[in-house]
Structure 1
Amino acid sequence: MGEVTRRGFLGGTAALGGTAAAAGFAPAALASGTALTSGAGAPAFGPVVVRPGDPRYEDLAVRRTNQRFRHEPDYFHLAGSTEQVVAAVTEAVRANRRVTVRSGGHCYENFIGDGAQVVIDLCEMSEVYFDEKRGAFAIEAGATLMQAYRELYLGWGVTIPGGQCGGVAAGGHIAGGGYGPLSRRHGLTVDHLEAVEVVVVDKSGRVRAVVASRNPADPNHDLWWAHTGGGGGNFGIVTRYWMRDPAAKGDDPSKLLPRPPATVLSGVAIWSWNGMTRESFRRLLRNHGEWHARNSAPGSPYASLWGSLLIPGRQPGADPGGIIMPTQIDAGVPGAEQLLRDHFAAVAEGVTPEVFVPPLQRDPWFQAVRTLSLGAESESGRYKGKSAYLREPLTDEQADVAFDALGTAGEVSRTGMLWLLSYGGQVNAVRPAATATVERGSMLKMLHLATWEPGQDGAAQLAWVRELHRKTFEATGGAPVPGGACGGAYINYPDVDHADPEWNTSGVPWSTIYYGAGYARLQRVKARWDPRDVFRHALSVRPPGGS
């Protein structure tokens, strides 16, 4: 597995195949060729249609992160404005062509290319600006998280609590919930969603752009709610989000979203695979889980601490590699350095071999974001990921499953890994029913991952990661069934195996694993806003009566 593949997941975000929409379709302007403008007033890009035979087609076919899949539609439609998206969807619907949409292209599954005849690409819809009329920050669906962080911070000193993968685009990230290093202090990305623009198709086939807001009196409020964790590719195409802290007052932009730490203190704890016994590995995972159980309540002194325990497969040879725990904390918190060192000590207690902690590093926040970002736009690789929310630490039996899979050097296991990511804090201060992200009781996110190189068919890696996930959740039918120690799985890390009875023998449907008690409401939103089921994929919300 290549370096860039390993680095593409810590931020925890995957752009699902759906996102984009807005208001103001102007057919007269389209017909006359008048330049359309984006929300900030600049001339809009496009539209551009690229078909097979055009040299640009190959570039667009490979513009994705997960190279496990290839997108070969009848044509790519690159849009630069909401009006262009409306026109593109109208044309496709009238021709009865299957439509999918791509913003950043980070989907874990083939939701974009599978059966698509038209891929609407939003990469050029990437503006980030303050909308005075709405009193909120607008982020277009094609804007990457790094673009959003840069514009928001350098322009107004604010940010959103989004993912660490800077190349992920807003389109799918926000619709699926969105989380990252600032979420333990400020909540999920969708906890700051003020409004959303969505291009939808009604029962008659009419295409229009709708704005749905947080305001409960808004007749479109249910569509807003569905985009607070309902995932992309379900209800329409998101073209723009507006972000604002729901507790913010006034109209000063610098006070309408969270302000990030001025300085970040970061460090890493490292344990070698050499000398790591089964019992020591159990102790490491137990310590890590129990620390999060003690320190993940809203308002904890550790609310600004975020990190991940990254456990790659043991490498062959004299240097087997090691287990690493990159961690960061707001350097302005009283006693920040001691809090970070105490965290390392608590996780390392009783673990052999002894932990190695290089010198800590202090960086201005935006410098830290750029330096530590795990998602550049050049990410590539072939991979399969399987996720879970954890409400309790992994058991010793589950730790043994991971040790058996990762602790012995093998041709397949050396390219696999287990990630445990800090969660909880302010995320869990929100009522479950307030957003479509109903899981509000977990302290960790977990990711099983397998990767492979070009030229490999990936069959062995797929079998390996599937078996690792199945054995980890053997007590609940091979899947992270919500309830007890688990909180289900994260829809931005979609896994079609959860809908396959061969791998999910729990009897609990995939929709419950991803959406819990919120699924029935999502189905009602689907029936209202996408009655023709235009926007669909292997794990899309089904109309009422569907599974």
Structure 2
Amino acid sequence: RRAGLLTVTARDVRYSGLTSGQNQLFKSNPECIRLPRTTEQVVQAVQEAVRTGKRLSVRGGGHCYENFVDHPDVKVIIDMADMRQVDYDPQRRAIMVEGGATLGEVYHTIFRRWGVTLPGGACYTVGVGGHVSGGGYGNLSRLHGLVVDHLYAVEVVVVDPDGRARAVVATREADDPHRDLWWAHTGGGGGSFGVVTRYWFRTPGATGTDPSALLPAPPSDVFVVWLRWPWEKLTETRFTRLVRNYGTWTEQNSSPTSPYKGLTARLEPAAKAAGSVLLSVQMDTAVPNARGLLLDFLDAVNDGVGVTPEEYQELHQLPWMQATGWPGFWMSNPTDRYKYKSSYQRKGLTDEQIGGLHRVLTDSDYDHPAFVVSIAAHGGQVNAVGPTETAQPHRDTVLKLLWGTSWANPGDDTRQFDYIRRAFSTVYASTGGVPVPNAVTDGCYISYADGDLTDPRYNASGVPWHDLYWKGNYPALQRAKARYDRTNVFRHAQSIRLPHTV
């Protein structure tokens, strides 16, 4: 402990447990880990790292998909786990969440205290710090938009050009001199501008001082169902029909005015070794004719497939609070190794893309059941926001895909990397192996970070990685970078680059 700031070094029993996150592909060897409890201590930790010339990184929940935190060159990790307070701030009329809180802590606290929620992800152990800065997407996003659509303000510890660390509060108010820093945290990703110590949330247009009226209320109850189609019954024709049906339905039902905004769904084709293709669905029971709409959706997805899906879990009603972490198959095991990729679709997958997906999923040489593509119905209220209103530009899409696999044995690294890369590049072969922004596809999601996008062996599209993530918003993010981190203290393999004029 130094001046109240907890510091863990290699001689401490806690060191090993604090030098890796959820993904055991990455383990760091820093000189120390700092665990601040206040914004002032974050300023102190950053200042000392800058003064001594030591590269730093910041850990929130530890779910980073690449080695942006646990990098060999990092000498100081600032671990935000001790900053987890959630409270109402009457001065800003907003709900304040510290940067080290997890999604589960936030959901439970704000629901129990005020009956409100944020439309974030389904994995409770994900940290708010990185999740929000990347945009924040989850099961309620079709109903209430992205988390950043409710972000009022952010407190960030930045480093001035003269090397002085300080805390800046930036709001979405039009006359705020730091509004560009707020905007950069509405989808620009973590680790580029500073250390997020606090977020404040208030839905645009919300009035008054009652916190129960400042954020959206979740559904009281939801219908939930899982269906599965056994691979043994799915010919290529049947598989194509199933995936095409799902894509067509999302094209027709992903506008902000759709009666299906209250439905979230994930079609999850897994490698054939897993045994089946799954569909998980959740529907707000308060929507008029909710049960009928849900059954119509299921009929539309299975229309003409020729296989009666098995009920993995029959349709039934649950309180939203009990169902909020469901449906989902992405509760990562902190003892495993992982590789992820992402893609957005403006249209359903084309027949060419579906054919490529079928070929790789049914590859008889690949017998690993953990590989899966989670194809989430997107859009709804997400698409009510313009592409430049936040840094997250993907605002006219109908599908959001998370590609992933996990394994335990380091000896399997090459095999697993080769397969997921081949699967992804096969599906997007006609556009250089990645989902370039065009009439059908729309790039990638920074919170599902993928280091392969910077490598011409895997991205032969000619579209740079930053345009896949941010499209036309990237220059504005670079300007914010130049203003708040001109000396590039906060950096990683896919952090915002300083503009060439700096």
> Considering the TM-score relative to the shorter chain, is it more than 0.5?
yes
Instruction: Please report how far the alpha carbon of residue 376 of structure 1 lies from its aligned counterpart in structure 2 after TM superposition.
Output: 5.9
Q: Counterpart of 2:198?
A: 240
Code of the residue aligned with 2:261 in structure 1: it is: A
Q: Percent identity?
A: 46
Q: Counterpart of 1:345?
A: 299
Q: Counterpart of 2:170?
A: 212
Q: Is it true that 1:303 corresponds to 2:261 in the alignment?
A: yes
Q: Distance in 2 between matches of 1:511 and 1:434?
A: 18
CA offsets 1:4-34 (integer angstroms, 9 cap, x no match):
xxxxxxxxxxxxxxxxxxxxxxxxxx99x6x
Q: Is it true that 1:274 corresponds to 2:228 in the alignment?
A: no
CA offsets 1:307-354 (integer angstroms, 9 cap, x no match):
101111112xxxx62111110010111211111111111101111332
Q: What CA RMSD, in Å, does the superposition of the two structures yield over aligned residues?
A: 1.7
CA offsets 1:244-266 (integer angstroms, 9 cap, x no match):
00121111111000000010111
- Aligned-partner SS, 2:268: strand
Code of the residue aligned with 1:404 in structure 2: it is: R
Q: Counterpart of 1:447?
A: 402
Q: Distance in 1 between matches of 2:170 and 2:237?
A: 52
Q: Counterpart of 2:316?
A: 361
Q: Counterpart of 2:24?
A: 67
Code of the residue aligned with 2:298 in structure 1: it is: F
CA contact (8 A) 1:174 1:228 kept: yes
Q: Distance in 2 between matches of 1:378 and 1:116?
A: 24
Code of the residue aligned with 1:465 in structure 2: it is: I
TM alignment of 1:68-217, pairs within 5 A:
68-114=25-71, 115-217=73-175
- Aligned-partner SS, 1:194: strand
1:377–1:132 Cα change, 3 Å: farther
CA offsets 1:435-483 (integer angstroms, 9 cap, x no match):
0011111011012222222343410110111111111111111111112
Instruction: Please report how far the alpha carbon of residue 431 of structure 1 lies from its aligned counterpart in structure 2 after TM superposition.
Output: 1.2
Aligned counterpart in structure 2 of residue 530 of structure 1, from 485, 488, 497: 485
Aligned counterpart in structure 1 of residue 378 of structure 2, from 423, 426, 448: 423
Q: Distance in 1 between matches of 2:113 and 2:39?
A: 24
Instruction: Please report how far the alpha carbon of residue 80 of structure 1 lies from its aligned counterpart in structure 2 after TM superposition.
Output: 1.0
Q: Distance in 2 between matches of 1:532 and 1:324?
A: 48
CA contact (8 A) 2:357 2:426 kept: no
Q: Counterpart of 1:40?
A: none
CA contact (8 A) 2:280 2:327 kept: no
TM alignment of 1:254-403, pairs within 5 A:
254-315=212-273, 321-357=275-311, 358-370=313-325, 372=327, 379-403=334-358
- Aligned-partner SS, 1:92: helix
CA contact (8 A) 1:314 1:414 kept: yes
Q: Is it true that 1:514 corresponds to 2:469 in the alignment?
A: yes
Runs (5+) with no aligned partner, structure 1 = 1-29, 34-45
Q: Counterpart of 2:444?
A: 489
Code of the residue aligned with 1:515 in structure 2: it is: W
1:401–1:371 Cα change, 3 Å: closer
Q: Distance in 2 between matches of 1:325 and 1:391?
A: 20
CA contact (8 A) 1:166 1:375 kept: no
CA contact (8 A) 2:338 2:404 kept: yes
Code of the residue aligned with 2:420 in structure 1: it is: V
- Aligned-partner SS, 2:468: helix
Instruction: Please report how far the alpha carbon of residue 430 of structure 1 lies from its aligned counterpart in structure 2 after TM superposition.
Output: 0.6
- TM-score, normalised relative to structure 2: 0.97
- TM-score, normalised relative to structure 1: 0.89
Code of the residue aligned with 2:435 in structure 1: it is: P
Instruction: Please report how far the alpha carbon of residue 412 of structure 1 lies from its aligned counterpart in structure 2 after TM superposition.
Output: 5.0
TM alignment of 1:218-237, pairs within 5 A:
218-237=176-195
Q: Distance in 2 between matches of 1:170 and 1:54?
A: 27
CA contact (8 A) 1:167 1:377 kept: no
CA offsets 1:117-174 (integer angstroms, 9 cap, x no match):
0000001111111111110000111111010000100000000111111110100000
- Aligned-partner SS, 2:238: helix
Q: Distance in 1 between matches of 2:348 and 2:239?
A: 13
Q: Counterpart of 1:478?
A: 433
Instruction: Please report how far the alpha carbon of residue 413 of structure 1 lies from its aligned counterpart in structure 2 after TM superposition.
Output: 4.6
1:406–1:375 Cα change, 3 Å: closer
Which moves more between the two structures, 219-228 or 70-79?
70-79
Instruction: Please report how far the alpha carbon of residue 398 of structure 1 lies from its aligned counterpart in structure 2 after TM superposition.
Output: 1.0
CA offsets 1:400-434 (integer angstroms, 9 cap, x no match):
11111112444455331211011100101111111
Q: Distance in 1 between matches of 2:251 and 2:141?
A: 16
Q: Distance in 1 between matches of 2:200 and 2:328?
A: 24
CA offsets 1:224-279 (integer angstroms, 9 cap, x no match):
00000000000001011000001211111110000000101111121001121011
Q: Distance in 2 between matches of 1:350 and 1:195?
A: 49
1:225–1:166 Cα change, 3 Å: same
CA offsets 1:84-138 (integer angstroms, 9 cap, x no match):
1000000110000001000001011000011210000001111111111110000
Instruction: Please report how far the alpha carbon of residue 47 of structure 1 lies from its aligned counterpart in structure 2 after TM superposition.
Output: 2.2
Code of the residue aligned with 1:54 in structure 2: it is: D
- Aligned-partner SS, 1:351: coil
Code of the residue aligned with 2:485 in structure 1: it is: D
- Aligned-partner SS, 2:402: strand
Aligned length: 500
